[in-house]
């Protein structure tokens, strides 16, 4: 009997060896692999704070090859893999559960930014057209950065070292390069430069088969466009070549208020229509937000207004729901004498409440990093690590008024809010439709972002805010408002098919080509891993 058992054990081991499996599924992984409880706990959470899934292990990679090694092992050994940047996802998109490995893209423990494997590299774009004099006048630059690098560090390096900066931003800079490029990356510059996905020259990507591939519009273009906005489904971005431009020194930052929604949207749409004009003919940033209670305007990004002179809406005759337009004009020493005149000329063409103009002047870095100041205040009050049931929608221009009437004026009006509500338009022709990002099929569409924080009691509990999000989505469906979810969160593949629409079949084919075992980014819940029928978040 013992001899038979020994023979069976020997056969099983030989079989496992033959088909490429080991008794330890992580044996083939190279790099700093951790099962430290603190690492596992950190990787099990995200900014949303609504889901938790502890992984099998966490990799702290020191190179793209180490990222590739864990992906190859996952494909061969049957475990899932997810890249995690700054952990700012909302609904567990970067989580894998107990049968997977999270790659912490911030890099090896103990290493600092600018060490060799993450050190940015500046380059110049080759312009083959025109004469040498014209080329020298229109030089453009790029920076190669590690996919896990934070945008704030990219900004500080390019600004301090070269007086340059990326063209397109997110409102919050403590996000990873690979993370935002896997979604889109938007803020008030998108009307002019497009999202961050439209400002990339080249990528290095580890596919779901563990292949490290360089891709661009000219080389492996299918992968290049698929990964941009691809929600991590086809590969992990380990290097990105980002377009740069000369950085301004300072920013004129202006806010004006509206009580009329039509005037507000008309002015926003007019301002983004100026995207093709010269620098003196347009603003550099256009955003807006909704004010459903007076406290919000003095608390959100409170560094804008002086605490000694808060905005009193009653003094300017404002009632009910208000709409705030936020614009900026960049300048430096050469344009300092004319910037005020440019701002005044542009403002004269707008139809805001005349007594509601508020202006400040800040450095370019301070403006781009404005949200971090609010973060520090919330952290000091232990209010940062709370659930964030955010809802981000792209709303077609033709239906934004209907959305305002049903959501802002009915569902939200008269209620205190627990976070900012952004609303601003973008030009669809600034978005590369070859990418995986899905937008409404209209020339202009709006971002509506309800960025709320949940409280333990009162009207803003997690359950109440989640229920309100569901009611908003139901209202859109019943009213025929064809929204698209930004930073999407869907539970079934049928819902994902509806989200991607006509892009779905190509998306599915790319998944089969670049990640045939479906091991990447399982937290998105788009595809089930081919080697298991169990739920990915079973703990």
DSSP 32-71: EEE--HHHHHHHT--TT-S-----SEEEE-SSHHHHHHHH
Three-state secondary-structure class, residue 161: helix
Q: Give the catalytic positions in this structure.
A: 88, 171, 287
pLDDT at residue 138, as a whole number: 61
CA 141 to chain centre: 23
| Strands, sheet with 100-104, edge to edge from the N-terminal-most edge strand | 32-34, 57-60, 100-104, 80-84
The answer to whether 41 touches 87, Cβ cutoff 8 Å, is: no
**Angstrom distance (rounded) from CA 286 to CA 266:** 13
For residue 281, CA distances in Å to 32, 167, 329, 349 come to: 52, 18, 10, 12
HSE value, Cβ hemisphere, 13 Å, CA-based, for 414: 3
Tokens of 74: 């996952």
CA 495 to chain centre: 21
Selection from 63, 84, 59 nearest residue 74 by Cα: 59
Q: What is the DSSP letter of 248?
A: P
**Angstrom distance (rounded) from CA 123 to CA 182:** 23
**Angstrom distance (rounded) from CA 29 to CA 70:** 5
Residue 18 buriedness (CB in 10 A; 0-12 / 13-18 / 19+): exposed
Tokens of 69: 């090694």
Tokens of 503: 């892009």
Do the strands 164-166 and 121-124 form a parallel or antiparallel pair, or are they unpaired?
unpaired
Selection from 27, 151, 51 nearest residue 101 by Cα: 27
pLDDT at residue 225, as a whole number: 98
Do the strands 121-124 and 141-146 form a parallel or antiparallel pair, or are they unpaired?
antiparallel
Selection from 417, 255, 80 nearest residue 70 by Cα: 80
pLDDT at residue 12, as a whole number: 39
The answer to whether 275 touches 191, Cβ cutoff 8 Å, is: yes
Q: What is the dihedral of CA 176, 231, 242, 45, to 10 degrees?
A: 0
Measure CA of the first residue to CA of the last residue in the chain; give whole Å: 38
**Angstrom distance (rounded) from CA 326 to CA 322:** 13
The answer to whether 456 touches 370, Cβ cutoff 8 Å, is: no
Selection from 68, 375, 45 nearest residue 213 by Cα: 68
Tokens of 316: 């300017």
**Angstrom distance (rounded) from CA 515 to CA 513:** 6
Do the strands 212-216 and 322-331 form a parallel or antiparallel pair, or are they unpaired?
unpaired
Do the strands 141-146 and 235-246 form a parallel or antiparallel pair, or are they unpaired?
antiparallel
The answer to whether 48 touches 87, Cβ cutoff 8 Å, is: no
* Strands, E assignment, 417-533: 421-427, 444-450, 484-485
pLDDT along the chain (539 residues), means of 10: 44 41 69 93 96 95 95 94 96 93 87 63 75 56 96 96 97 97 98 98 98 98 98 98 97 96 98 92 96 58 46 57 96 96 97 94 96 89 91 98 96 81 97 98 98 92 96 97 96 95 97 97 94 47
Residue written as token pair 């894998």: 96
Residue written as token pair 């450095």: 363
Selection from 414, 394, 382, 527 nearest residue 80 by Cα: 527
* CA 242-247-248 angle, 5° bins: 155
pLDDT at residue 312, as a whole number: 57
Q: What is the DSSP letter of 410?
A: I
**Angstrom distance (rounded) from CA 351 to CA 268:** 10
Q: Which helix (H) or strand (E) holds 190?
A: helix 190-193
Percent of residues in the chain assigned helix, strand, coil, to nearest 5:
35, 20, 45
pLDDT at residue 402, as a whole number: 98
pLDDT at residue 330, as a whole number: 98
């Amino acid at each position: 009997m013992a001899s038979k058992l020994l023979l069976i054990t020997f056969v099983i081991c030989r079989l496992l060896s033959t088909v490429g499996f080991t008794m330890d599924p992580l044996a083939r992984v190279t790099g700093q692999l951790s099962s430290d409880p603190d690492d596992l706990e950190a990787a099990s959470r995200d900014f949303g704070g609504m889901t938790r899934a502890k992984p099998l292990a966490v990799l702290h990679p020191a190179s793209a090859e180490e990222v590739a090694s864990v992906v190859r092992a996952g494909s061969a050994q049957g475990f899932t893999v997810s890249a995690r940047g700054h952990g700012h996802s909302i609904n567990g998109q970067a989580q894998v559960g107990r049968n997977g490995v999270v790659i912490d893209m911030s890099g090896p423990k103990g290493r600092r930014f600018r060490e060799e494997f993450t050190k940015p590299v500046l380059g110049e774009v080759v312009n083959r057209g025109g004469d040498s004099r014209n080329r020298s006048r229109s030089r453009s630059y790029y920076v190669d950065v590690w996919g896990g690098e934070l945008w704030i560090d990219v900004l500080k390096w390019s600004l301090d070292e070269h007086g340059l900066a990326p063209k397109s931003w997110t409102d919050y800079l403590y996000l990873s390069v690979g993370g935002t490029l896997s979604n889109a990356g938007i803020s008030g510059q998108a009307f002019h430069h497009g999202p961050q996905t439209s400002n990339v020259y080249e990528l290095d990507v580890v596919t779901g088969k563990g292949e490290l591939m360089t891709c661009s519009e000219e080389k492996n273009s299918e992968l290049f466009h698929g990964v941009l906005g691809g929600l991590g489904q086809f590969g992990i971005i380990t290097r990105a070549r980002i377009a740069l431009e000369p950085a301004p020194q300072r920013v004129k930052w202006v806010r004006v208020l509206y009580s009329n929604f039509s005037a507000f949207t008309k002015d926003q749409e007019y301002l983004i229509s100026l995207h093709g004009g010269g620098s003196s003919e347009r603003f550099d940033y256009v955003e807006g937000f909704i004010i459903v209670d007076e406290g919000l305007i003095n608390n959100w990004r409170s560094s804008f207004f002086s605490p000694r002179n808060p905005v009193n809406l009653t003094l300017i005759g404002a009632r009910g729901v208000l709409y705030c337009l936020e614009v900026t004009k960049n300048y430096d020493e050469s344009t300092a004498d004319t910037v005020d005149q440019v701002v005044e000329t542009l403002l004269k063409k707008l139809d805001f409440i005349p007594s509601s103009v508020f202006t400040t002047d800040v450095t370019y870095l301070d403006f781009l990093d404005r949200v971090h100041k609010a973060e520090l205040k919330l952290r000091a009050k232990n209010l940062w690590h709370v659930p964030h049931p955010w809802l981000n929608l792209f709303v077609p221009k033709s239906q934004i008024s209907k959305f305002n009437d049903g959501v802002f004026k009915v569902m939200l009006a008269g209620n205190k809010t627990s976070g900012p509500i952004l609303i601003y338009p973008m030009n669809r022709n600034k978005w590369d439709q070859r990418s995986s990002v899905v937008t409404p099929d209209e020339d202009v569409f709006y971002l509506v972002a309800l960025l709320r924080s949940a409280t333990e009691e009162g009207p803003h509990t997690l359950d109440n805010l989640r229920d309100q999000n569901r009611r908003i989505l139901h209202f859109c469906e019943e009213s025929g408002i064809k929204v698209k979810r930004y930073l999407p969160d869907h539970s079934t593949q049928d819902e994902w098919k509806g989200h991607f629409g006509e892009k779905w079949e190509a998306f599915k084919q790319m998944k089969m080509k670049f990640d045939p075992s479906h091991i990447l980014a399982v937290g998105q819940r788009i595809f089930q891993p081919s080697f298991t029928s169990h739920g990915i978040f079973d703990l």
